Amino acid sequence: MSDRPIPFAPGEHRRSFIAVEKEIARTIKTVSGYMTNHTPEEIESRIRKAYEYSRDAHDGYLRKSGEPYIVHPVGALAELLSLKPDLVTIESVLLHDVPEDTDRTISDIEEEFGHEVAHIVAGVEKVSRLKYRWEERSIGSLRKMFIAMSEDIRVIFVKLADRLHNMRTLTYHEQSEKQKRIAEETLNIYAPIADRLGIFGMKEALENECFRHLQPDKYYAIRRELDAMRSNQEIFVSRVSQKIRKLFEERGIPVRDVSYRVKSPYSIYKKMARKNLERVSDLYDIFAIRIITHTVADCYDILGVMHNRFVPLPKRFKDYIALPKENNYQSLHTTVVGIFREFEKGEIDRRQPTEIQIRTVDMHERAEIGIAAHFTYSEEGASSVSTEVQWVRELKNMLDETKDSEFFTHMKINVFDDRIFAFTPKGEIKTLPKWSTPVDFAYSIHSEVWNHTVIARVNDKVVPLDHELKNGDRVEIVTDKNKRPSIIWLSFVRTTRAKEVIKACINREKREELIEKGRFIMNAYLERHFGKGLDKDLSLLRNLDGHILSTREKEDVLVQIGNLSRKPSSVIRGLDPSHTAMIQAATKQASEAGTRRAAEALTTTGSPTTLQKIIIGGERDLPYFFAKCCRPAEGKKIVAHVGRHGIKIHEAKCPSLRRSNNDRIIPAHFENDASDGMSLEIVITLRNNLGVLRQLGDACYSMKLNITDLHTSNLGGGRMECRLTAYAETEDYYLFDRLAERLKFSIPVIEEIELIHMG
């Protein structure tokens, strides 16, 4: 490797170029070490050519940090090296900002570096132009991003490296709001993508950088605790390592390496919040011991020894070797108690459970770099990433099968959700999104099962069709050729395939039923939020999305609402401005009048008021005061503070709450708040059998419904009427249909269920 002259730059710029040159030299050495299908000379030539082209193109450009711009692409390359990328990806990351920031074009890059590099750089440029919000209006931008990814997964490798280096230098952005927006975008979009691709190192680094910027106090508090515990951990693990090696040497089981991994600050924060813990040391699984061996058989031998030598915790064993994760992660996970009790002294209590991870060398590499382990190299020197990885195939199918109006929902479910494994009666594995149902399972099999499902058995027990499947469930589907899909299924199935096939079937066979359901949902939404529903001519829908609609087209809109392809809120946004202004004016006037009456009542009587309907912790008609410090109005996010003098309603961000005990703050919202949940009032006629009210409560609990009011009356002859009000935290206009199905399934003595009110 020959020395290269450093371009002239004054003062600190010269030092920056020296550092960049050293990083390029390190990169060339690293790549030459793992890439054997190219000569060291070719590797150096191609990397230096891309680097110098980018450096010259960015000449005179500075970053917000004051450094030469070339520092960024070289920094992004350093983030990427752990994935052992091919030369095309390396060239692309060095060139990724050239077309966007300089006068060089994609055509110029194609001429110098070939079509493959130009294609990736163009894809990265396209993704970089998109601005995201974790909201429905961003679906077009997100779809374009996933299209670019599905065409060549290396686009997202480059983009992840670019984003990670930018996150590490985010402090140089002067606007704190922009820092927050970029961090939230990264946490919601890029970190989950890295997770799905199995690129654990990048996922963890992205999450921690976001955590550092979004909640710096909590981040640094956790870091201080981890730093204080580090010396004890290192001493403990070094001794444990010796013991483990000796343990397996005595049994003739080869162990390649014993190490440990510490949970990231963000993972620790989430677990502490979930368990309501105050100190990091309150967690027993801050770190896990990792045992690397040679073969799969060795992994299971090691597991057997660990379970014989120590006490394994039930329900804490996971076999990701037999059942790999969606991103192809494989490992054995177990948790044992009593590992090396002689090390119990110190800040870390070793009597608590310890997690053990056991895997082969190949599994460990895949665990570290995920899908990047699928880089393949031909004898001619060409390289690529396998397009047969299951998640990439699913991504392409989702793009092909899903309309823009539904892409956002399906993306969150199918791309960012965890996965579960379920089995057919013959032992065939089906991979599904978390919270999938037997109907989703049926649609993963074949068409004879899809549309004729009538009964589901999970682990030999008959369950409702909206039952939530768990990992390892054995599912049997009973069919009837005379049965067809139900509209209700659309409200609980999770998979894109199930939604699309069900929708196609009911759109064709049950149009009138969908129109009526769409009318019901739209009326319920309008009456809940604006006090007035649709007229018989659907006049409100006459001018929608900039078009004058015919009667048939208005009904088509109701069909879309009924089959959940379109939300009522999106219809309101698409109305003619005159209609929207009229609705909003009426709502604002009613809201202001209600706030004024409530304030007058409080001023004149000095006692709690309930003129404005506010749901407090799921309860209605509780007396409350409006806090004078913030005077919350309808449309604002609110909470309730329980004090000595009663309940006060504050804005959620009221500064005076910072001094309050969190135990005294409970959720609250205005009854007409569009962003919160909804209530159901139903009347049930049933036989008054022993335990029937408990069954009723269990059924509501299983659907996450909070019963807020319950009255019963004797009808004679062993029959009774039950009037029930329940609250759900989500706005779901199929809620009554699902509840009715669930109640009829679980309580056979029910004779009739009637909906009185939903809102």
How far is residue 537's CA from residue 550's CA, in Å, rounded to a whole number? Answer: 11
625, 629, 633, 636: CA torsion to nearest 10: -110
How far is residue 514's CA from residue 516's CA, in Å, rounded to a whole number? Answer: 5
Q: Which residue carries 């984003």 as its tokens?
A: 163
The token pair that represents 723 in the structure block: 């009037």
Cβ 259 vs Cβ 248: under 8 Å = no
Q: Any idea what DSSP says for residue 188?
A: I
**Can you list the alpha helix ranges (DSSP code H) found in 626-751?**
692-702, 735-746
Q: Which helix (H) or strand (E) holds 651?
A: strand 646-651
The letter for the amino acid at 655 is P
How far is residue 726's CA from residue 708's CA, in Å, rounded to a whole number? Answer: 5
Give the Cα-Cα-Cα angle 128, 129, 132 (nearest 5 degrees). 85
Collect all residues with Cβ–Cβ distance below 8 Å to 384 and sequence separation of at least 6: 86, 375, 376
Question: Which residues have a catalytic role annotated?
Answer: 100-101
Cβ 377 vs Cβ 383: under 8 Å = yes
Q: Which helix (H) or strand (E) holds 267?
A: helix 265-275
Shortest CA distance to 81 belongs to which of 32, 27, 43?
27
Residue 384: beta bridge partners? 376
How far is residue 177's CA from residue 502's CA, in Å, rounded to a whole number? Answer: 43
Q: What pairing do the DSSP bridges indicate for beta strands 646-651 and 678-687?
A: unpaired
What is the Cα 623 distance to its own chain's centre?
Answer: 38
How far is residue 365's CA from residue 329's CA, in Å, rounded to a whole number? Answer: 10
The token pair that represents 429 in the structure block: 């594995």
What three-state secondary structure class fits 565?
coil
How many residues are recorded in the chain?
A: 759
What three-state secondary structure class fits 242?
helix
How far is residue 440's CA from residue 227's CA, in Å, rounded to a whole number? Answer: 46
The token pair that represents 739 in the structure block: 């509840």
How far is residue 70's CA from residue 586's CA, in Å, rounded to a whole number? Answer: 56
Q: Any idea what DSSP says for residue 260?
A: E
HSE (side-chain half, CA atoms, 13 Å) at 111? 6
Q: What is the 3-state secondary structure (H, E, C) of 517-563?
A: HHHHHHHHHHHHHHCCCCCCCCHHHCEECCEECCHHHHHHHHHHHHC
HSE (side-chain half, CA atoms, 13 Å) at 190? 33
Neighbours of 207 (CB within 10 A): 24
Strand intervals (E) in 435-519: 453-458, 461-463, 475-479
Collect all residues with Cβ–Cβ distance below 8 Å to 757 and sequence separation of at least 6: 679, 680, 681
Strand intervals (E) in 381-529: 383-385, 419-423, 429-433, 453-458, 461-463, 475-479
Coarse DSSP helix, strand, coil percentages of the chain, rounded to the nearest 5 percent:
50, 20, 30
